[in-house]
Structure 1
């Protein structure tokens, strides 16, 4: 009898401690997820009762030209910004893993850009990429080269974002740095005895040893760039005129899928369209992630393999 009371008391105590998490999960995750699924099949704009429309919102996604444009812009970032961020982070980590004087200072300098707030970094890059007085074009002028109209030319807006991505790859770098420090030194020593050079050691020892971390970084980067929003939203807002509410940039070159989703939900208040777009994005991201995991069997090696 006493044991039963103690067990019930322990269970109640456990429920009380876990109640904040359970409540938060129900209110801020499960309910919004379920509601968005219902909204995706409905005409709902916050100002009138919900009306069931079936698959109309999903049909709209495949018929709307702006959606097609936003998908192409997003795929551009996924296919180009993902490898750029991974390569920049890995090469920077490789350099910062060298035993040099002032190593910790260099690591700090390279990591700082990744923790700069988006608004601050966007304002800085607005100046850096200014076609008339920006730092990059000024340096190109000194070299006798004519710089592009970075954020004002549709052909250069997305390369500008990729440049910002490489600059802010400190988060990727710090994880790669930790992985590099975990590679057994004995492998490099054996390679030195065999006469292997630096390039051979990098491709034959370093990359296979950190391949699980590369997989992790690849999956996380894909998820981030499928949802790419903050930097493009800030730059589009700063370069657009006050009357322009499209948040799309020159020739809609900054109209990414997440930005269009935001505009449908919180500018035009078409929650049905936005919810359907969110579910399509979730399915695409999940499918691509699954394909990456399937392919990882061919190129990822683990400690026991």
Structure 2
């Protein structure tokens, strides 16, 4: 009996640092932000309880609605393109090619750079008025423009940046492709199946669990895009708020306008949206995800 209690104490002793981190760095801030979302709080004075005022004000805020619209465009257009590009490149890199390790590294490097400030600045210069894109178009006599400053195209330049950084999804797809038995492809070849038929009937169904994982992770990442939008628009959201992503507005509300109550409300709305979105994806996955059984 004494030895069992001693073992429990030792176990809880090892768990204690994690429990402290969970309570102090996760649960504590979450509870505080939930409380602040129902208050008027400017970081300088004590919070003032206003109930659901922050939430009702948000739904009447034109800039908030624009941020939701821009973010949805980014997700609806960008996520499928990211997954499609990652899958196609993974299929190509799954072939027996010379210098395969080099190609895998080259395609993965953009993901290592991730949402760095340097890459965002580079992208801004590439699509700027005097950037590489316009220099290329000038060879064909086409007069370019400042793509990142044009409200009609700005968000699509950021989508292009996100699609370029598909390396992480590609590596996961590649790992999934490696698990498909070669016997299936050999049998299909004997039956005269074309490469497209093999991809449609063998590759795609067998990597749907991997596709589900990549879809969820890419959705979560896309909804939370911030660095590229902040750098490209210099923290303003761009002309006509064309790059005013949800997280950028959240940051501005909290740390530029000192409206931390509204920022906390936006954070909780984002959490609820991501939870519902993930739940919908999991629910619908039973219709298109195929496991070993």
- Shorter-chain TM range is over 0.9
Counterparts of 1:280-291 in structure 2, within 5 Å, are: 280-291=269-280
Q: CA deviation at 1:79?
A: 0.4
Structure 1 stretches of at least 4 aligned residues deviating more than 6 Å after TM superposition? none
Give the distance between the partners of 2:57 and 2:267, measured in 1 at CA. Answer: 13
Alignment match, 1:120: 118
Give the distance between the partners of 1:70 and 1:127, measured in 2 at CA. Answer: 24
Q: CA deviation at 1:122?
A: 1.2
Match status 1:256 vs 2:254: no
Alignment match, 2:67: 70
For the residue of structure 1 that corresponds to 2:286, the secondary structure is helix
Is the CA contact 2:120–2:227 (under 8 Å) kept in the aligned structure 1?
A: no
Q: CA deviation at 1:20?
A: 0.8
Is the CA contact 2:128–2:145 (under 8 Å) kept in the aligned structure 1?
A: no
Counterparts of 1:145-156 in structure 2, within 5 Å, are: 145-156=142-153
Alignment match, 2:139: 142
Give the distance between the partners of 1:130 and 1:41, measured in 2 at CA. Answer: 41
Match status 1:274 vs 2:272: no
Is the CA contact 2:225–2:247 (under 8 Å) kept in the aligned structure 1?
A: yes
Is the CA contact 2:111–2:167 (under 8 Å) kept in the aligned structure 1?
A: yes
TM-score (normalizing by structure 2): 0.96
Is the CA contact 1:73–1:254 (under 8 Å) kept in the aligned structure 2?
A: yes
Q: CA deviation at 1:235?
A: 1.5
Give the distance between the partners of 1:41 and 1:184, measured in 2 at CA. Answer: 55
Match status 1:177 vs 2:166: no
Give the distance between the partners of 1:264 and 1:299, measured in 2 at CA. Answer: 40
Structure 1: gaps of 5 or more residues: 238-245
TM-score (normalizing by structure 1): 0.92
Give the distance between the partners of 2:140 and 2:175, measured in 1 at CA. Answer: 38
Is the CA contact 2:89–2:170 (under 8 Å) kept in the aligned structure 1?
A: yes
Give the distance between the partners of 1:186 and 1:137, measured in 2 at CA. Answer: 49
The C-alpha deviation readout for 1:160-217, integer Å capped at 9, x for no partner, is 0111112111111111111111111111111101111111111111110000111111
Give the aligned CA root-mean-square deviation in angstroms: 1.3
1:86 aligned to which of 83, 100, 103? 83
Match status 1:130 vs 2:128: yes
Give the distance between the partners of 2:48 and 2:278, measured in 1 at CA. Answer: 34
